[in-house]
Structures are given as C-alpha cells and as structure tokens.
Structure 1
Amino acid sequence: MTDVVPLVGEPLALDLVNTRTAAGDLLATPEQLRAWARLQAGRLPDVAPDDLDAVRDVRAHTAAALKRVRHGERPDERDLAALNDAQRAAPAISEVTWDGTGVRVERRRAAPGLAAWLAEAAAELLADPAVTKVRQCEADDCVLLFLPAHPRRRWCSAARCGNRVRVARHYRKTHGIDQARID
C-alpha cells in the first residue's frame, strides 16, 4: 500500500522523518515539499518551502540522530553539527514588541528558512526526555515513527496500519491460516 498523503500530527521533527516511508520519498519534488508544508499549516511560520535539498538534508540528519538517541545512544557528531549549521543559517532572535498593555517577546528567525525551523524542531525533540518513548510502527511493512500518547499504542495510525493488521489477522483466523507456517 502506497501512502500518498504523509502522516501528520506527531511532533514536527517526526512528521519530517516520516516523509521517508517504506513506499518511497514523499519529499522527492519541490511540489511535494510545498504540499507537506501546507499540511503543517499552523505549525510552521510563514516561510517559503523552497530549499528541498536543505530540508532533505535536515531530515536525513534528524533521522540518523533520532535512531540513536531514542535508544539512549550518543548521536553522531556530524548529525548534530549539521542540525546546528541548519539553524545557524537563520539565527533565532527574541523580538520585543508592545501589545498595548505590556511588552511581549516572540521568538523569530532573522531571514527564515524552512530547513532552519525544522532543524530547531529536531533539536527540541532530540533534547526532550520523551524521545526515548518514540516507537516504530509494528506493522510489518511500515517504517514510520510515532510518540505514543498511550503506552499500548502499536501503530503509526489506527486507520492505516492498525486496520490493515486487524484485517489480515481476521483473514488468517477465518481462513484457518496458521501464522507459524507464514513466519
């Protein structure tokens, strides 16, 4: 089954990593990057998703670091350095404004770029103690990651992989197929 629409709703860095599925790369073209950015509306600032190579580079380094960190291992320094470099390309500033009753501080990027925002999201996820709870979907043909809100969650999506696993299990049961023979 090819997933045409990327899975969204996980932490932003996981949504980015999950654009690389078992079915292929969902960010293979600039058009796909723009479509993914639209799906993330409200979670991303108003930046032009124009640097596909930079975003894919952030995704690769995020995935590599996440693979190690979620298992309690030290990430490769090259992955951390690449994520830091992506953030440095658009430095964050605390912009001070007056809202009519008091001073507000909003974090903004000077010369925003999508890769910098995504690298920042990756840094936040990698530093979050919850990163060790990130799991891979238990469906045989799925590589997507998720951060379970419930400890019994087993699939990236109950509607996608969960239903497929349940239907396959029901089929095996009703047709007398011995799971031991399949494995």
Structure 2
Amino acid sequence: MANAQFPLITQNLSLDLVNTEIISYDKRHDLIQSEKDLMTWFEIMGETAPFLISLTLQEVRGQLQRIHQFRAELRKHFERIAEGSEPSSPAFIAFLQDQIAAAPFSYQIIDDKLARIPNGKPDDSILSLIAYDALWLIHTKEIQQLKRCANDKCILLFLDKTGRRKWCSMKICGNRHKVSRHQKKINHE
C-alpha cells in the first residue's frame, strides 16, 4: 500500500500513524497538521479499518492534539522496541489496554469483512482501534520484527518479515542509498 501523501509501508494502523512524521531535507515534518489531513489519513486507512471511513470532519474536530499525543507515546515505545527493548512492557500494555477500555468493540460485517466497531466517543474510538492494532502486534509477536530504517536521516519504522529488509521502502530510502552509492563509485573512477 503506497500513497503520495503518507508513507503507508506497514499496513498496520499503529505503525502507519507513527510514520505520519517524517524527516525531509533534514527537518522533521508532521504529515497530519490539520483536521483535514487527519480525515484524509482516516479515509486511506479505512481500507484496513472500515470504521474510520464513517467518521465525519465534525466528529474529528478538536482531536488533533490528542492524536498527536497518542502518536508520540506510540513512537516512544516503538522506537525502544526497534532498538531492542522488551516489546511486552507492562506499562505499554496497560496504556494500550486503557485506550481500548475507553471504547470497547462490537463487530459488523462491512464489505464482506468482519470489522471492529468501537463503541464510544469518536476520539476514544479512534484511539481504541489504533491501540488494538499495537496490542495485536505485541500479542502475535510481530512486534519483534519491528525495525527502524537504515537511513540515518529517516525515522520511519517497519516490520521486517523476511529478516533481510534494511529500508523503510526501496522507493524512499533504498533507492536514495543506491543512487548515492553509484555517485560515489562514479566520482572515485
């Protein structure tokens, strides 16, 4: 899944939310700066979580700061895990479970898929879905495959399911590395 606006490289709500912060031209950029950006991200992520498509801009108003705070907390824990810390820290699990408890789930069939539908206020519901995704990664132990891009100037995180992946994406950092290596080779000849 790729998108020109968001680097959707994981197909996981929680990781793709964390990856809405990027480094470009040596500066950190937030790709979700407005409620409109947040709605665009929800629409795109609705493929993974259909509930997000049903949200309206009116329901999203005032949630931007809370989403940013939640993303910062996820990033902090995910980066520690990517650096080798224990993925099932009791504090992180409790944090995620508290988010889910604020809007527990019912289920509906939407477009022939069984969809989780959080029951609660829209902001609690959104965070509940994202927290569930992170908790699922921990439960399935997929979180142990979490890595940071090998590009020192990149902050994107991904799941390395092959054990050989180095880059967030070949289109983003992998290609840049190849071009840089090629340029060095040409300059030394």
Tell me how far apart the structure 2 counterparts of residues 30 and 106 of structure 1 sit (CA, whole Å).
24
Moved over 4 A (4+): none
Equivalence for 2:106: 93
Q: Does 1:142 align with 2:154?
A: yes
Q: Which SS does the other structure have where 1:43 is aligned? A: coil
Q: Which residue of structure 2 aligns with residue 14 of structure 1?
A: 15
CA shift digits 1:108-138 (9 cap, x unpaired):
3223521221111111123331212111111
TM-score, L = length of structure 1: 0.77
Match of 2:38, SS?
helix
1:58 aligns with 2:70: yes
- Give aligned-pair identity as a percent: 29
Match of 1:101 in 2: none
Note the C-alpha offset of 1:4: 6.5
Residue correspondence of structure 1 range 12-161 to structure 2 within 5 A: 12-22=13-23, 23-47=28-52, 48=55, 50=60, 51-70=63-82, 71-73=84-86, 75=89, 77=91, 79-93=92-106, 107-111=116-120, 113-161=125-173
In structure 2, the gaps of 5 or more residues are none
Q: CA deviation at 1:94?
A: 5.3
Counterparts in 2 of 1:150 and 1:95: CA distance versus 1, 3 Å: closer
If the length of structure 2 is used for normalisation, what is the TM-score?
A: 0.75
More helix, by proportion: 2
Pair 1:84–1:156, CA change in 2 (3 A)? same
Mapped contact 1:19–1:25 kept (Cα < 8 A): yes
Tell me the C-alpha RMSD between the 2 structures: 2.7
Number of residue equivalences: 166
